[in-house]
Chain A
Amino acid sequence: MSPDPAEAPETTVGEDAVGGQEAGRRLSAARALDVDPLLDDPETRIVVCCGSGGVGKTTTAAALGLRAAERGRKVVVLTIDPARRLAQSMGIDSLDNVPRRVKGTEGEGELHAMMLDMKRTFDEVVEAHADRERAAAILANPFYQSLSAGFAGTQEYMAMEKLGQLRAREEWDLIVVDTPPSRSALDFLDAPKRLGSFLDGRLIRLLTAPAKLGGRAGMAFLNVGMSMMTGTLGKLLGGQLLKDVQTFVAAMDTTFGGFRTRADATYKLLQAPGTAFLVVAAPERDALREAAYFVERLAAEKMPLVGLVLNRVHDSGAAGLSAERALAAAENLEDPRIVDQGGGKAGLRNSPDTYGSSRTPAPESAAGDPSDTAGNSATAGDTASEEGSPADTDRPVDRLTAGLLRLHAERMRLLAREQRTRDRFTARHPEVAVVDVPALPGDVHDLTGLRDIGTRLASDGAED
């Protein structure tokens, strides 16, 4: 252990808890991610931010969009379900499914932002693919209304659909997408495929055209299955719902082709060279576990992962002072001062007898720690008593200092915990580049806050 806590190099974050070796390993294992080259590259057309709920995905997407815009690009940020004040900070608190120019950005570029309205997006798709009469029939169908407004998964489909639409308009150089707060963060990847396979499925064919199937010899057995099935579904769902579904499916028949083509196109778009995925997480067990799944899944789907954005990472300007030493020092200060009791100070202070049996072991080990500790305490004690015995004026500073040390101990434990969690991730995925974004005490509500996060997203990479 360094004899001088404040002199310890800053890079050995959590050294005392994790061990110097671990800290060294971290530096060599995780590459630093620099977002600027990514944002500046005209080849980058889509950036997808994904990760589990509550890790700051939307904020990250907004900050990246702002940074790219202020570096000269024409950007649109597609948010799914932004916190109210974040949306207000970008001026998109009206949910109208249309990109709006964000005012107050600096430089040549432009930032547009929009909030996804899934029902509206679905309606637009229907209107685009069916003639007016048919579209009206679909939009009025109760099954459709429930499907478009509610069920788990629509949001994912529609987010991908909207992405495809925005990309097709060729109005922006860069689209930054936030992903829906799904049951599983992976759902949106499955959305296009699932929709496609559902629409291609035999069930749909049965529901849409039972007569057609009956004509084919090979499908004869399906007729048995079908009558049994529609019978069962009828029993289960109630005949009227089944009828609604059938009407809906029949009305949608012609639009299915379009749906499927678009779903496939969006999926391919995600694999294309111009797309970059950023996994967003916080240094917490669950979030990083989800992030690891994500990394594996993206690799399996051949989707280009650029790196991991680790939000809310803590740091300390006094990382060389361990939690244990800080706590021991705090207990030293909180000890009833010998001067107050008017007894012999130095002698008593250093005597093990003054420590009652109720003491925790921590202060004892501290008292016996480096020999200069005891020496310093004694001299300081002398100084204190020389300044006169108004212990009352002196104590608040001691109490405060003890509080500062306890705060620091808490911080150091947090650092150690974060380090352990990320070590686990790094061990599994040493190939993933990481950028840290420091924890901020409050939430972000304005462009200044977003800009600040953008700077942090870029500068961490630049420094390392």
Chain B
Amino acid sequence: MLDAGVIMQMLLAAVGGTLIYTLIGIAPGTDETAVLAPVTLVLVLTGLEPIVILTFFMAAIIAKKLTDSIPVAVAGVPGGVMAAPMVEHAIVLKKHGKSDLSIRKMASGSVIGTIVAVPVSLLLANILVPYADQIQGYTNQILFGGAILLALMSKNRWIALASIVPFAILIQGLRHLYWGVGVVPEGTNVFISFFLGITIGPVILTLFELLNKDKRKAMNRYDNKTIALQTEQSQKGLPNPFKILTQQELSMSTLASFFGSLLFVLSPVGITILLGELVSARVKDPVKKSTLAISSMDALTNASYISGTLIPLIALGIPLSPVAIGPANALFNAPPVFTLEHNMHHLLTKTDFIWAVVIGAVVAIVITYFIIVKYAQQICRFVFKWIPHEAVLGLFFGLVLLLAHMDGGLINIGGVLLIGLVAGFMHRLGINYGVQFMVLYAAPWIVTQLAGLS
């Protein structure tokens, strides 16, 4: 049973997660995995109660998803990868001078997505539980199959497929090197810092390129980025998502969220584009079409994030969705605290899950929804004006160095840079994060199988 101390910690974690990710969600160009995974990893390593961490994570993703569409509406700049599909529709509304409406519709869509996804995910996870034992017996094969499946589903499928074995060898090569020189005890797989190395791979590659004079000279140069903001106007009264959305938007958002939750194993961006365009395809009026598209897309991104985290976590304890393998990764695997045999799936009861999710979701929605609908313009202006992108990159780089050293000493800083270089190059060749993360999980098995064959 939960005691008051733990509930207090959960509430604090939810408020903290909400406030931090309200600001981060707005900062342009923040990738979901890059901003959620490191912080969650760090919290897991500090040894907080698993239920507190899950509460934090739920509040964080809901706040992040509620807010990352705000700069789209206000300035046409996506606040994250997931908000990118909405840009086109938001710009239509901005042209019609309806940024305000855009924000209210999107935030309301998010709320609907959350309300639908939480119960659907809990139900679906319970349906899957009886099969969990059988599935868990094949964890390695499933992760390897996942890498192949994600490769086949990506845009550049052949190169993604061809990269699986070489990348697995690089990862295992470094691990065996560390065991050989004695910086890491044999059998301990360095994981966290490699994961972060992959995440900021594209940045590492660009940083190395800056050291090459010719490359540096050849880079495109830009003047400061111009961001158009509308004059500030504040809303009166308390917003209500059921009044802000029309009947049609409400039912389409609900429907899209429901199907988005069922399709939790697919890429959230993919589902959002596909279903989002599908629901709005038949509407002719440009403003109505766009409000319908953005409200249901925002509902969908929220729903697919929640279901992609909760279903694999509750039912299996194996990260079997793009969300679970990316942003939510630390809930599944963060050695030495969590491993695939010992993580939240094994530590939390069904009631624990419900409490964590409900507290996280309610706190995030209450705070973000009301703040955002009222102060969207002001928050955007603050973030754009005071947070330089350089500082954000510096922060990630510092965290990567720190965790690299903790994982395997000085030599691992070099190792993580190597992983980052290769991963960044692979990313540029069109091999997406999902494939790379799956290979990171499947690498020990792939290499053992290869060795057994020869």
Is A bound to B? no
Q: Which residues of B contact A (CB under 8 A)?
A: none
Q: Which residues of A contact B (CB under 8 A)?
A: none
